[in-house]
Amino acid sequence: MHTLYNLVSGPLVWVAFILFIGGSLYRIITMAILAKEKDGAVYAYMDTYHAFRSIYHWIIPFGSRNMKRKPIMTSVAFVFHACLILVPIFILGHVMLWKESFDIAWWYMPDLAADIMTVLVISACVFFLVRRLTQPEVKYLTTASDFVLLGIVAAPFITGFWAAHQWPGMRTALILHMLSGEIMLAAIPFTRLSHMIFFPFTRGYMGSEFGAVKHARDW
Amino acid sequence: MTETVIRSRKIKEKKRVYPPRRPVPDLGLDKGAEKLTPERIESTIRSVLDNETGARLKVYVDTCAHCGLCSEACHFFWSHDGDPSYSPAGKVKQTISEIVKKKGKVDADFIRGAAEIAYTECNLCRRCSMYCPFGIDIAYMMLTVRRIAHLLGVVPQYIQDTAHSHSATMNQMWVKDDEWIDSLLWQEEEAAEEIPELRIPLEKEGADILYSVIGPEPKFRAQLIYQAAVIMHEAGVDWTMPATPGWDNSDMCMYTGDNEMMGRLKKVHFETAMRLKNKRIVMGECGHAFRSIFDMGNRWLAWKMPPIPVTHAIEFYAELFRDKKIKVKKKFEKPVTLHDPCNIVRGRGLHEMARYVVNEICTDFIEMHPNREHNFCCSAGGGVINTGPPFRNKRVEGNRIKAEQLFAAKSKGAQVVIAPCHNCHGGLEDIIHHYNLKMELKFLGDIIYEVMER
């Protein structure tokens, strides 16, 4: 148990962060080079103002027509993504770890807020799961990997909640929490979770094409 | 459109089980697929994936989160009661993502099916890019499928014939060089009965404007050339038409995946305007030709923007009204509605200008919903109508939502649909007939000709 704990709380953290940061940089750089070679248009037509105009309309809730048409999905998706990013950064336990390891610290959120937001993430995962299983147009597109990804995202939150509340088996839960968090970080650059790093580019390019060349809105 | 109306629009009847797809018999697709070998399929696909695509396709395939949010952008999806195999991402799943995943190891049946989807079930209208949160360009992916199918020789027969015409004559309709000139002289003669001093200037070097049309105008809709000549004459515009190949701005090769021919066509077109030293090209009311000149053909020739300014008819008419070059005798009184063509609205943002022109010439304008960038395609675009009679029913039945949209405008009083695009005309005509909507269909030019002072 101790060796396992030491492994997931030590070397694997480094591995996960290196894979996450290094992998993201690797993906962005290789794609940028490939685009330079094969998709000259991307560079020629990318337009800062219109790229950000489009990104802006797609990162604020209900900023696009499709989001307005689907209020439930939009609300869930925004709450999900916001909590998914905020909780790991601002939860007290994590801030403490940064303080202990590197003597850096920042604002942390009250435990109650962290609890609520964690439950929101887990509920959103359940919502996405149900949506995948019941909506014909989503079900049709679903592959096994989609369930795996959903599991990868939900796992750190479920185990984290478990460990934080010191429920029975919390030691195992803590180890699983760290392990699943590491898996998620490492998976981001190399799976469809990479939409996190590619979103600004795909959206920005479409915004540039629509805005600068075609003089139309894309939201 | 008010948001409440948008929200209330839901797929009426989502089913659990959808009828299986049946391939539509087509000589081009069937015979083409028969000739394929696994080696040829694989090497062709690899060559396209390795040499002609890159980061865009990779990122698009890798980042699609399979969320299905693009579905309701597509008129095919709506018109098939939410059949997921007609959603944009559904079509990607059945075609390019499989091709990429298997690295080209797919069989002839698969290619045939993928070609049918890419050529006849997607109008490349780009509406889905406005519904995908990531802005994935699904039209580009479908064009990549078409490119592969073209190189493999699996293209619907009718549109391939059109592409052959382009290669042989540089126009879409097998119009011979002398027939072209004859048609212009004939229209000049006809118009001279009305306005004796009217001319259709041919080969006038240094004229401000080169007026270009699509192949079907001299072939089937010669009155459009007549009308354009009257408008030019009354507006006192310094214009000309070429007497050589290069007069046709249309481009079905862009849609078959024959990029090399697309480039040749646009080169001839641009060079004709250069030869005649015209200041700009003004083109008739066509959508796909605009896409070819302004967006795709120029890029193939490595021009970021067209080498000579290109003005679409809508912009040109707006200019004439703004500068008071044509005056309206009496506005058109029947209530009209306006169809926003994809290639000049999502493709050029001409929707407000179109409304300005409509309001200049009509008294009663009724919006159809959704409109502007969010308008539904006519389902004829992207070369789909050019795949001909075998796919007619599929095209018309695949756009029931358009009929509903038109019907809603009709129930508010609209009697006339204005569609400033040739393909849209063809598509809407079929839809109006098939669904028995009993609406009239007009070009902006038709109405301008009717109401202008002359």
Beta bridge partners of B441: B417
pLDDT at A3: 87
* Interchain proximity B349–A195, CB inside 8 Å: no
Sequence-ordered list of residues with C-beta below 8 angstroms from that of B309, at least 6 positions apart, any chain:
B279, B280, B281
The residue length of chain B stands at: 454
Q: What is the mean pLDDT of residues B64-74?
A: 96
- Residue B5 has a pLDDT of 42
Pick from B14, B16, B134: CB nearest A203:
B134
Q: Which of A37, A135, A141 sits opposite B89 (nearest CB)?
A: A141
As a whole-number percent, the residues of chain B with pLDDT over 90 amount to 94
d(CA B190, CA B183): 10
Over residues B229-250, mean pLDDT: 96
Closest-CA residue in chain B for A57?
B133
* CB B16, CB B382: distance < 8 Å: no
The confidence score (pLDDT) of residue B4 equals 37
Taking an 8 Å cut-off on Cβ atoms, the answer to whether B63 and A194 are in contact is yes
- For residue A1, how many C-alpha atoms fall within 13 Å in the half-sphere facing its CB? 6
Minimum Cα–Cα distance from B64: chain A residue? A192
Residue of B nearest to A60 (CA): B133
* Residue B1 confidence (pLDDT): 39
Tokens of B80: 């098939």
Rounded to two decimals, the ipTM of the complex is 0.94
B225: nearest Cα among B269, B187, B181, B177: B187
Query: Mean pLDDT in chain B?
Result: 95
Burial B171-195 (b: 16+ CB within 10 A, else e): bbbebeeebbbebbebbbeebeeee
Nearest CB to B54 within list A35, A137, A140: A35
Find how far residue B142's CA is from the centre of its chain.
15
User: What is the pLDDT at residue A101?
Assistant: 92
Report the C-alpha gap between B317 and A209 in whole angstroms: 25
User: CATH for B22-155?
Assistant: 1.10.1060
Q: Could you tell me how far CA A172 lies from the centroid of its own chain?
A: 25
Q: Where are the domains of chain A?
A: 2-213
Percent of chain A having pLDDT more than 70? 100
Which residues of chain B does A73 touch, with a Cβ-Cβ cutoff of 8 Å? 69
For residue A213, the chain B residues in CB contact (below 8 A) are: 295, 305
Residue range A57-88, pLDDT digits in tens: 999 999 999 999 999 999 999 999 999 999 99
The pLDDT assigned to B422 comes to: 95
Residue contacts between A and B (CB atoms, under 8 Å)? 149
Q: Per the CB < 8 Å rule, is A215 touching B348?
A: yes
pLDDT value of residue B21: 86
Query: In the prediction, which pLDDT does A79 show?
Result: 98
Q: DSSP character for B241?
A: B
Q: Quick check: helix, strand or coil at residue B210?
A: strand
The tens digit of pLDDT for each residue in B102-119 reads 999 999 999 999 999 999
Give the span between the Cα atoms of A212 and A47, in whole angstroms: 7
In sequence order, what are the residues at sequence separation of 6 or more whose Cβ sits closer than 8 angstroms to the Cβ of residue B342?
A: B123, B125, B126, B127, B287, B375, B377, B381
Give the length of chain A: 219
Rounded to whole angstroms, the Cα distance separating B214 from B328 reads 27
pLDDT band, very low/low/confident/very high, at B321 (cuts 50, 70, 90): very high
Identity of the residue in A37, A68, A199 whose CB atom sits nearest the CB atom of B134: A199
Residue B82 has pLDDT above 50, yes or no: yes
| Low-confidence residues in chain A, pLDDT < 70 | none
Q: Do B54 and A214 touch (CB under 8 A)?
A: no
B148-170 residue pLDDT tens: 999 999 999 999 999 999 999 99
Distance separating alpha carbons of residues B83 and B14, to the nearest angstrom:
8
Q: Is B195 on the interface with A (CB under 8 A)?
A: no
In the prediction, which pLDDT does B8 show? 44
Question: What's the pLDDT at B454?
Answer: 85
User: B444 pLDDT band (50/70/90 cuts)?
Assistant: very high
Kindly indicate the confidence band of residue B453, based on its pLDDT and cuts at 50, 70 and 90.
very high
CATH class belonging to A2-213: mainly alpha
Report residue B6's pLDDT band, with 50, 70 and 90 as the boundaries. Answer: very low
Say if A203 is an interface residue toward chain B (CB within 8 Å): yes
Q: Which residue of A has its CA nearest to B97?
A: A141
pLDDT category of residue B3 using cuts at 50, 70 and 90: very low
Hey, are the CB atoms on A137 and B82 less than 8 Å from each other?
yes
**pLDDT tens figures, A25-40:** 999 999 999 999 999 8
- pTM for the model stands at 0.95
Grouping H, G, I as helix, E, B as strand and the rest as coil, residue B176 is coil
d(CA A77, CA A81): 6
Judge whether B292 is closer than 8 Å to chain A, CB to CB: no
> Quick one: average pLDDT of B193-197?
93
- Phi and psi angles of residue B429, each rounded to the nearest 5 degrees, phi first: -60, -50
Q: State residue B13's pLDDT score.
A: 64
pLDDT tens track for B127-149: 999 999 999 999 999 999 999 99
Token representation of residue B51: 């040499």
- Residue A185's H or E segment, with its range, is helix A170-187
Q: Residue B55: its chain A contacts at CB < 8 A?
A: 31-32, 34-35, 38-39, 42
Q: Is the pLDDT of residue B360 over 90?
A: yes
- Asked if the model's pLDDT at residue B7 lies above 50, the reply is no
Helix axes of A144-164 and A71-90: crossing angle, nearest 10 degrees: 50
Cβ–Cβ contact B338 with A under 8 A: no
Residue A35 in contact with residue A188, Cβ under 8 Å?
no
- For residue B19, pLDDT over 90 is answered with no
